[in-house]
Amino acid sequence: MALSPLNHILYDNLSKGVDFEAATAFTFEDNISLNLVSKTNQSFEYSIPSLTNSGPIALAMTWTNGSSTFGDFVMYPQIPLDAGPNFDESVTGSKVSAANYVVSCNGALYQVVMRWSGTA
């Protein structure tokens, strides 16, 4: 399965033999079933609601494959939780620098840490 949210639409491509169960949007204050916008073969599009809570939305989906049920989730807007190189095992003599920023995304505040390295 491949969940991809973009421009208030959640795109979902299913593998053969997998059946859709449910699509739900979660925030700290709401949980709402997503509405199907279109379906073609194994591709689905769901409308992501504009909720009163201005924070990020967790979009969760569940599917079945025979007797097995499984699920996945994605955040919207997509905000990287951890990105970039790992400097924990940096080469001796290298210098690691970091800059911290507070950014606003959809009305919610996030801390972004940028790290880079070079020779000392």
Question: Could you write out the DSSP letters of every residue in 36-73?
Answer: EEEEETTEEEEEPP--SS-S-EEEEEEEEETTEEEEEE
pLDDT for res 92: 61
Give the model confidence (pLDDT) of 89-119 as tens digits.
656 656 777 778 887 776 677 777 777 766 6
CA distances from 67 to 4, 24, 59 (A): 26, 21, 23
pTM > 0.75: yes or no: no
Write down the CATH number for the domain with range 2-76. Answer: 2.60.40
Give the model confidence (pLDDT) of 39-84 as tens digits.
887 788 899 887 766 677 888 888 888 888 888 888 887 766 555 5
Domain ranges in the chain with CATH number 2.60.40: 2-76
pLDDT for res 50: 77
